Amino acid sequence: MNDKKIRSALISVFYKDGLDAIVRALHELGITIWSTGGTYSYIKDLEVPVSGVEDLTTYPSILGGRVKTLHPSVFGAILARRDVDEDLAQLARYNIPEIDLVIVDLYPFEETVKNVSDEAEIIEKIDIGGISLIRAAAKNYKDVLVVAGRDQYPLLLDMLKEKKGVSTLDERRHFAALAFSISSNYDTAIFKYFNEKEGIEAFRESVSGSYPLRYGENPHQKGIFYGDPGRLFDKLHGKEISYNNLLDIDSALALIDDFSSVTVVIIKHNNACGAASGDDLTEVWRLALACDPVSAYGGVIAANVTIDEVAASEIDKIFFEIIIAPGFTDGALEILRHKKNRIILLRKATCKSTYSYRSLLNGVLWQEKDLRTESEEDMKTVTLRKPEASEISDMIFANKIVKHSKSNSIVLAKDNQLCASGAGQTSRVDALRQAIEKAKAFGFDLEGSVMASDAFFPFPDSVEIAHKAGVTAIIQPGGSVRDQESVDYCSANGVAMVFTGVRHFKH
């Protein structure tokens, strides 16, 4: 028979919130309760009958609490197969009761790692007994119900109240799956802590939360975001965030985080189609939009300062999918909310991850994130003419944008405004020509502009084309065997060029 009625329970938890209702429900059903340590005291304080695990094992808690439940009497009570006569005979022989319900959570290892630097304290938060009890109960789900976290208490409480403590095989298997999800996440966190120093070449990642999406990159593809975007931003208004929205949000935030002055960026298909920095938010928005108002349609807007009413009134004039900023005035929200589907995100925190990964072929490709942002100190002038202060400022600005653009990428900028970019091209010359053509199409005068390239120029043709378009300063990594040809052309024509020694490919 697949249905099982709970007659006895073992409870040992770190977090007690919500436990009182469970304990009282168990008591009302006449279920025997076994417990340990602080949980035992908690249940006693509720004036609910409870027996200590020591009564079952005949051993006290030892080694400062490191060993409490690791005993054959406990694990035999959980792992015994109720349909195997030999197992039942052994329980009888050694006077071991059956335990039908195990409620156990784990020491807060991840929280301790975040808040504590002392390794001895961190190590003490590696749970041994709890993880073993969870695995044992989950393994024997045919006969035992395991509850491995307080977020599962409502499901258990419904079972106790509505079904009088009776569970089906499918329900127990579901709880077992939840338990193994928790235990595997816990083990991954421990491994990652140790591997920060050890450098073992094994990929382990575990994300517990999930965010349902309408679909993946296209409507015929299923999509799920594993993680908790609510830790990074609050959605104040609008429709559900899509797969493609999340990609653009990630690109927008990665780019905006490289700027400290007032900046607005507009992202479309993971590339910047508008960007500007300055002092006045409304003017910065106007300059960002001017770069490519056609591509900005339906884009993602990110700012690094609070959106006020004046800026919101201007931003509201175009159709866009998402706006994200660290703050919005009440007046700005009133203006922006009038479009029902428009997504408004209030940013709360930055992403702390220093690495990225993606599935590839039959494995995973892992790398450190490109967190380098070059400053004037990183520039080595290689031409006869040195760049002027305004050109240096523009090159720093342009280099930040090219770093976040799909390769091959060229960025043209002037006065801390993106004039145009050529991104995702198969040749650097094509990327440059695309950027020049777009800049001219939107009325930009490129005379006195700067050019940033994500990688070196294999031939001098690009610097020659850029110079003839009006570019007066160039920033690039350098590193080509024919660098000198580009340097010579620039020197002969009064163009300043700097090498950074840092390539910024992005694929």
Residue 235 identity (one-letter amino acid): K
E strand or H helix at 1:
none
DSSP reduced 3-state for 100: coil
| Residues 145 and 102: beta-carbon distance below 8 Å | yes
Is 269 noted as a catalytic residue in this protein?
Answer: yes
Q: List the beta strands (DSSP E) in 13-141.
A: 32-35, 51-52, 101-104
- Calpha distance 413→259 (Å, rounded): 15
Q: Please compute Rg for the chain using Cα positions.
A: 31
- Calpha distance 317→336 (Å, rounded): 10
Is 139 noted as a catalytic residue in this protein?
Answer: yes
E strand or H helix at 110:
helix 109-115
**16, 27, 125, 139: the active-site residue:** 139
| Residues 472 and 448: beta-carbon distance below 8 Å | yes
**142, 174, 269, 339: the active-site residue:** 269
Which tokens go with 133? 């009890």
How far, rounded to the nearest angstrom, does the alpha carbon of residue 59 sit from its chain's CA centroid?
45
- Calpha distance 335→257 (Å, rounded): 26
- Calpha distance 52→58 (Å, rounded): 10
Runs of H (alpha helix) within 298-347: 309-315, 330-336
Which tokens go with 343? 């997504």
Nearest to residue 506, comparing CAs of 432, 392, 425? 425
E strand or H helix at 18:
none
Please give the angle made by the CA atoms of 23, 27 and 28, to the nearest 5 degrees.
Answer: 120
- Calpha distance 416→284 (Å, rounded): 9
- Calpha distance 282→286 (Å, rounded): 6
192 forms beta bridges with none
- Calpha distance 319→298 (Å, rounded): 6
- Calpha distance 482→176 (Å, rounded): 63
DSSP reduced 3-state for 497: strand
Catalytically active residues, by annotation: 139, 269
